[in-house]
Amino acid sequence: MINLILFGPPGSGKGTQAEHLKEHFQLLHISTGDLLRNEIANGTKLGMEAKQFMDAGQLVPDEVVIGMLGGAVDQSRSMGKRGIIFDGFPRTTAQALALEHLLADKGTAVSVVLSLVVEEEELTQRILKRGLTSGRSDDNDIDTIRRRVQEYRTKTEPVAGFYKDRDLLVEIEGVGAIEQITQALMNAVNAYSSKHSDG
């Protein structure tokens, strides 16, 4: 399988790039943010629990998020996909460890972690702009956006070190033409998936 992780701060372009990569490599796209918003829209218990954290710009507790991903590998296989693209997951070291186990149980592993690098001011501008049309309340409030970036710096950034230690981390400049960034990501995937292929 080809299992990609799109990594980077809120507003770095993970969702946009995931759309291109999933088509090109025939991957199942799993966005934990989308899964959570879906739970909220359906009024589930999980959604109710997650909503308070999301509205405050905080991470949803690990066990809630991890619990949603149990069937991911079976789902991608039954859909005939070549692997999975994880967008917005893992966001903590505990989630990274849970993912490692979940994939190992199914005889597979992370192929590469693509880290989109974008500086802070650009992120805030992009999220506020997205907020004009996304309908997401967490995109409209400057304090909530700052909180999300702060959560990223304290809880998510250490995940980069976890993958660096495993020689799986690639940093890609996330500012520039969308197609050029896509191309840089594809080149990295091709380089790594030949190195770490599990068939």
Which entry of 37, 81, 91, 126 is annotated as an active-site residue? 91
163 is a site residue for ligand ADP (CB under 6 A): no
Asked if 136 is an active-site residue, the reply is yes
**Alpha helix locations (H) across the chain?**
14-25, 32-41, 45-55, 62-67, 72-78, 93-105, 120-134, 142-151, 157-165, 178-195
What are the structure tokens assigned to 55, written together? 């509205």
CB 12 within 8 A of CB 91: no
Residues 6+ apart with CB under 8 A from 89: 5, 30, 32, 65, 69, 95, 99
Residue 166 annotated in active site: no
Determine, following the binding rule CB under 6 A, whether residue 53 of this chain makes contact with ligand ADP: yes
Q: Which of 96, 126, 148, 188 binds ligand ADP (CB under 6 A)?
A: 148
Is residue 172 a contact point for ligand ADP (CB under 6 A)?
no
Separation between Cα atoms, residue 20 and residue 186, nearest integer Å:
10
Catalytic residue among 136, 147, 164, 166: 136
Spot the catalytic one: 77, 130, 155, 164: 130
State yes or no: is 82 an active-site residue. no
**How would you label 72-90 residue by residue, b for 16+ Cβ within 10 Å and e otherwise?**
bbeebbeeebebbbbbbbb
By CB under 6 A, tell whether 36 contacts ligand ADP. Answer: yes
Q: Using CB under 6 A, which of 1, 7, 11, 116 touches ligand ADP? A: 11
Active site residue 91: yes
Q: Does 54 bind ligand ADP (CB under 6 A)?
A: yes
Q: Where along the sequence are the contacts to ligand ADP (CB under 6 A)?
A: 10-11, 14, 32-33, 36, 53-54, 58-60, 65, 88-89, 91, 95, 138, 148
Instruction: Tell me the catalytic residues.
Output: 14, 91, 130, 136, 148
